Amino acid sequence: MGMTMTQKILAAHAGLSSVSAGQLIEADLDLVLGNDITSPVAIHEMDKMKADGVFDKDKIALVLDHFVPNKDIKSAQHCKCVREFACKHEITNYFDVGEMGIEHALLPEKGLTVAGDVIIGADSHTCTYGALGAFSTGVGSTDMAAGMATGKAWFKVPAAMKFVLTGKPAKWVSGKDIILHIIGMIGVDGALYKSLEFVGDGIAYLSMDDRFTIANMAIEAGAKNGIFPVDDRAKQYMEEHSRRPYTVYEADEDAEYDAVYTIDLSALKPTVAFPHLPENTKTIDEVGDIKIDQVVIGSCTNGRMEDLRVAASILKGKKVAKGVRVIVIPATQKIYLDAMEEGLLKTFIEAGAIVSTPTCGPCLGGYMGILAEHERCVSTTNRNFVGRMGHVDSEIYLASPAVAAASAITGKLSGPDEV
């Protein structure tokens, strides 16, 4: 029986000629990731293990991004813990204030993730790097600790689902709309512990930013990981950002999939996930009259350059609706600087939005945009669970940067063609 892309990567890193779904393996790791929330727990676990040190100071990435710049004493203590650990072990890829960005945008930008890698991170959206043809997945802080100490991790080899993407998306349809459509179709547990493999001629029309967004939200369907084939666009991205060698793996023709879906991208419309699950989707023409209080454009899902350009193109020369708060968060320092040089930040500020330093901030209800009781937010983030961004009686509507920007202007949930 043939293997999927994910299975081939895992087999290679386990030193095996082949693996099959459900098999337990121990695999070598190319990168172990942690942030300011999850790393302190892992560091304390390493202390309990009495580990001599880290397996490779160049293959660990510590990114302070969730509550940074520190929002309170507790977050400051967490960051101090990570900072001291990074200094003690001379961690090469340590990113603090002034250098940090939202981890899942920062690491590809820095060239730390490439095709063929096995990457674990103590953050559920570590699956982002599948956009480059890597196997990457979120783990708990204990697994992160073991990974930092040994450079290895145990996995149950996932079964797979194939999504054949065909056709060219319409003007305002982005990677966010595609993945929301998929989650709405199969549900938040529709791919439980499975690998989502995206193939088809439609991929040629997807930018790397689109692919990062789709892979990022594979976890929202319950998946172990999401992964794209390594085409010329992915190779060009890696060659521009990284000096590391990469390995291209391709699924065998007789690879086994639990399900195969074909999606005509040309038939999709801008899509919104209503409270309180990413599967609760409606197309923009079905949303009705939903007045809003806040818009957030950013996060590891949609805080990249392309996202900011789309939002700015809609907001340029217009004003944010009275009574609506708009928060724009570039995902990395480089994106912030590029957006400033392109004049995008000026566009946002003139429209009545604010621009934040890179941070996860409001996405997890941390800071920089907490919602009060009964407030509604259109957000380009990845989760809209009860209380995710603040009060348990607030509401989050997940959408693309285009829909978020349009909604900011009208003061209600709106499509970009409505402004």
Q: What does the pLDDT average to over 286-291?
A: 94
User: Does 3.30.499.10 match the CATH number of domain 273-418?
Assistant: yes
Q: How far is CA 6 from CA 11, 237, 408, in A?
A: 9, 20, 40
Position 51 scores a pLDDT of 83
Task: Look at residue 1 and tell me whether its pLDDT is greater than 90.
Answer: no
pTM of full prediction above 0.75:
yes
Q: How far apart (Å, rounded) are the C-alpha atoms in residues 419 and 410?
A: 7
Q: What is the DSSP annotation of 102-117?
A: -HHHHHHHTT---TT-
Note whether 221 and 190 are within 8 A (CB): yes
Q: Which residues does residue 63 pair with via DSSP β-bridges, in sequence order?
A: 35, 95
Q: Model confidence over 189-248: pLDDT tens digits?
A: 999 999 999 999 999 999 999 999 999 999 999 999 999 999 999 999 999 999 899 999
Q: How far apart (Å, rounded) are the C-alpha atoms in residues 24 and 69?
A: 40
> Taking the domains of the chain in order of start, what are their residue ranges?
5-263, 273-418
Average pLDDT, the chain: 96
3 state SS of 382: coil
Position 164 scores a pLDDT of 98
Model confidence band, residue 50 (pLDDT cutoffs 50, 70, 90): confident
Question: Which two tokens mark 292?
Answer: 């809003």
Instruction: Give the CATH fold of the 5-263 domain.
Output: Aconitase; domain 3 (3.30.499)
Other C-beta atoms closer than 10 Å to the C-beta of 116 total 20
Which stretches of 316-390 are DSSP H helices? 333-341, 344-351
For strands 271-273 and 281-283, give the pairing. Answer: antiparallel
Percent of all residues in the chain with a pLDDT value above 90, rounded to a whole number: 97
Q: How far apart (Å, rounded) are the C-alpha atoms in residues 417 and 414?
A: 8
H/E element holding 42? helix 39-49
5-263 matches 273-418 in fold: yes
Which stretches of 158-216 are DSSP H helices? 175-186, 208-216
The verdict on whether omega for the bond into residue 276 sits within 30 degrees of 0, i.e. cis, is yes
Position 52 scores a pLDDT of 84
- Nearest residue to 249 via CA among 2, 4, 1: 4
Q: How far apart (Å, rounded) are the C-alpha atoms in residues 377 and 374?
A: 10
Question: Which two tokens mark 36?
Answer: 């300011």
Position 154 scores a pLDDT of 97
Q: Model confidence over 69-109: pLDDT tens digits?
A: 999 999 999 999 999 999 999 999 999 999 989 999 999 99
Q: How far apart (Å, rounded) are the C-alpha atoms in residues 225 and 217?
A: 9
Other C-beta atoms closer than 10 Å to the C-beta of 368 total 19
DSSP at 307: H
- Nearest residue to 187 via CA among 151, 134, 216, 223: 223
Note whether 377 and 395 are within 8 A (CB): yes
Calculate ∠ Cα 381-130-33, nearest 5°: 75
Position 223 scores a pLDDT of 97
Q: What does the pLDDT average to over 349-366?
A: 95
Question: In degrees to the nearest 10, what's the CA dihedral of 240, 126, 310, 71?
Answer: -110
Q: Model confidence over 105-133: pLDDT tens digits?
A: 999 999 999 999 999 999 999 999 999 99
- Nearest residue to 246 via CA among 415, 4, 12: 12
- Nearest residue to 171 via CA among 313, 272, 327, 297: 313
Q: Tell me the chain's radius of gyration from C-alpha atoms.
A: 20
